[in-house]
Amino acid sequence: ASVPFVPLQYGLYSSFMGCFVYCFLGTAKDVTLGPTAIMSLLVSSYAFHEPVYAVLLTFLSGCVQLAMGLLRLGFLLDFISCPVIKGFTSAASITISFNQIKNILGLQGIPRQFFLQVYETLRRIGETRAGDAVLGLTCLAALTGLRAMKSRLPQAAPAEPLAVRISYLIVWISATARNALVVLFAGLVAYAFQVMGSQPFRLTGSIPQGLPAFRPPLFSLAVPNGTVSFQSMVEDMGVGLAVVPLMGLLETVAIAKAFASQNGYRIDPNQELLALGVANVLGSFVSSYPITGSFGRTAVNAQSGVRTPAGGLVTGALVLLSLAYLTSLFYYIPKAALAAVIISAVVPMFDAGIFGTLWRVKRMDLVPLCVTFLLCFWEVQYGIVAGVLVSGILLLYSIARPPIKVSEGALLLVQPGSSLHFPAVEHLRDSVCSRALAASPPRSVILDCCHVSSIDYTVVVGLAELLQELRRHGFSLAFCGLKDPVLQVLLSADLDGFRHFPSWEEAEQCGGAELGGSRAEPFTSTTEST
C-alpha cells in the first residue's frame, strides 16, 4: 500500500477477498490474488493518493474484467507481446525500487515522478538518517542472503537422518518466510529502542484495527471547495480504466500459465477473467484497491504443497485475523524494513538478459522493448500503450509486406511466403509486374499459393486487376498449389482468365502451350523481396 500512497491498512483490505473468490472461481491451484507491486504502481498513477479513487478504480476494473470474461475476450491478451511485458516489468522494477530509496534513507517530501524523484533524492542525500539507512541496508542484505540460501538449498532425501531433515525444514521455512522474519526482527529492534526512550527509525505508525465495513464504493468525492462527480472521476482515471484491468489479467494469466505448465494442467483465460472480475467487484465493497495474481505468494503456495485453490481460504482467514487483532503491533514496523522487503521483491523482475536474447533472436523486437522500457519511466500507461502500438505496427508491417520468393525459368514462379491480406495486395502486384516485365525476355507468371491459407475480398480484386494488367502486356497468370478455402473463394469470384494447376511442376510443363512460354526450362535464379 505504500507504493500507491494510500493508507497502509488498504494493503490488508486488499489481501483477503481475492483469496476467497478465487477458491470458487479460479482454475489454477497455486494462484493467489492480492495486491502486487506492479498493480500498486499502476494504481499510483490513477488514484492520485486518494483511497476513494483507488476503491472506485477497483470496482470499475472488476466490471471491465467481468464483461471481458462474459464476452470471452481473453484472446486480446495475445496482442501484448513478450517484449512489451518485459520492458514494462523491468522498468517497473527500477521505478518501484527507487521509489523506496527515500524510505531506506529516511527522507521525506520526495516527489512521485521518477525523474524528479531521482533529482531530489540525489540533491538531499546529505539529509540521510543514519538509523534508517543502517537498518534498511541490513534488511536488504538479510533478504538477499536468505534468497540465495534458498536457491542453493539441496533437497533432503527421505533416507537422511531425522536431524538433517528437520534442519532442512527450518532453513527452508526461514528462507521462504524471509519477508515476515525480517519485518518481525526490525519491529522488535524498533520496539526495543522505543522502550529505551529513543527512536532512530521512522515507523509505520498507527493502523486502524478491525475489519473494513462492507459497503459499496463511493461514486463521488467530497473536497473542500465542492464535490468531484462520478463523471469527473472517470475522466480523471482515463486510460487507466483499460490499462489496469488488462494488466491485472495479464499478470494473473501469465502466473497461472507458468505454474500450470510446471504441474501439467491447463487454465482458461476467460474463466480467470471472471474470477478476477468478481474478486475486484466484491473487493471494492471492502475498500480494496485493484488486485491481481501475485507471483511471490503464488510461488510460496506452490512450494508449500497446496493441492487446490482452497489454500486461499487459509490465506484470507489469516489476513482477517491480522486485521482484527494484530494491527496495533504494526505500529513499530520501520518504514526502512518495509522498503527493503519491497525492493527485494521487485528487483528480480528486472530481466537484463532479455536485451541480449532479443539481439541474438530477433533484433526488431528490441524496438517495442526499448520504447516500453524508456517511456514507463515517464508514465507507466504511456509506456504500455506505446509498446503495444509499436508491436502492432511491426505486426501489420509483416502482414503488409510478406516475403515473396521469385524464381526465373521459362516462366516466372512467384511464391508468397504467407497468407495474403489487403495491405499486401499492392506489394504483390508491384513484385509480380516489375519482375515479369523486367525479365529478359518478359515472360508469363505462375503464382504458387502453397503457403497461402486465406485471402480477403480486396486481395481477390487485386488479383483480378493483376490478371488484366499482364494480359494487356501479352502475358498470362496462372495459379498453382491453391488450398481448398482459397480455391473456393477465387472460383466464387469468377475471375476472367483464371487458371489453376495442382502444382507448379504441372504448370511449368504446360508453359509453352498455355502460358506463352517458349518451352519448359528449369528455374535457375531465385530472389526474395519483403
Indicate if 192 and 336 belong to the same structural domain: yes
What is the tens place of the pLDDT at every residue in 164-214?
A: 788 888 888 888 888 889 999 999 999 999 999 888 999 988 888 888 999
Query: How many domains, the chain?
Result: 3
Q: Is 518 domain-assigned?
A: no
Domain boundary, last residue among 334, 349, 364: 349
Indicate if 332 and 375 belong to the same structural domain: no
The answer to whether residue 152 scores a pLDDT higher than 50 is yes
Indicate if 373 and 439 belong to the same structural domain: no
Gap between the Cα atoms of 427 and 414, Å rounded: 12
Gap between the Cα atoms of 449 and 483, Å rounded: 8
Indicate if 369 and 473 belong to the same structural domain: no
> Which pLDDT score, from 0 to 100, does residue 205 have?
83
Indicate if 439 and 334 belong to the same structural domain: no
* Contact indicator for 62, 285 with CB cutoff of 8 Å: no
Q: Is 496 domain-assigned?
A: yes
Q: Is 3 domain-assigned?
A: no
Q: Is 528 domain-assigned?
A: no
Indicate if 471 and 501 belong to the same structural domain: yes
* Contact indicator for 64, 348 with CB cutoff of 8 Å: no
* Model confidence band, residue 110 (pLDDT cutoffs 50, 70, 90): confident
Indicate if 30 and 139 belong to the same structural domain: yes
The chain-wide mean pLDDT, for the chain, equals: 84
- Tracing cell 500459465 back to the chain, one arrives at 257
- What average pLDDT score do residues 234-240 get? 89
Q: Is 491 domain-assigned?
A: yes
Indicate if 276 and 380 belong to the same structural domain: no
Q: Is 14 domain-assigned?
A: yes
Indicate if 122 and 134 belong to the same structural domain: yes
Q: 409 CB contacts (<8 Å, ≥6 apart)?
A: 508, 520, 521, 522, 523, 524
Q: 399 CB contacts (<8 Å, ≥6 apart)?
A: 418, 421, 423, 424
Q: Could you list the residue range(s) of the whole structural domain that residue 396 is in?
A: 352-400
Supply the pTM of this predicted model. Answer: 0.75
* Model confidence band, residue 527 (pLDDT cutoffs 50, 70, 90): low
Indicate if 79 and 95 belong to the same structural domain: yes
Q: Which DSSP string do the residues of 135-186 spell out, in sequence order?
A: HHHHHHHHHHHHHHHHHTPPPPPTTS-HHHHHHHHHHHHHHHTHHHHHHHHH
Indicate if 157 and 30 belong to the same structural domain: yes
* Model confidence band, residue 525 (pLDDT cutoffs 50, 70, 90): very low
Q: Is 117 domain-assigned?
A: yes
Domain boundary, last residue among 325, 349, 373: 349
Residue ranges of E strands in 185-304? 221-223, 226-228, 292-293
Domain boundary, last residue among 285, 316, 349: 349
> Which pLDDT score, from 0 to 100, does residue 512 have?
46
Amino acid (one-letter) located at 451: H
Grid cell of 407 as nine digits = 524464381
- What average pLDDT score do residues 310-327 get? 88
Indicate if 363 and 465 belong to the same structural domain: no
Nearest to 286 by CA among 34, 501, 4: 34
Is residue 160 left, alpha or beta, with left meaning phi > 0 and alpha meaning psi from -120 to 50? beta
CATH code of residue 438:
3.30.750.24
Q: Is 517 domain-assigned?
A: no
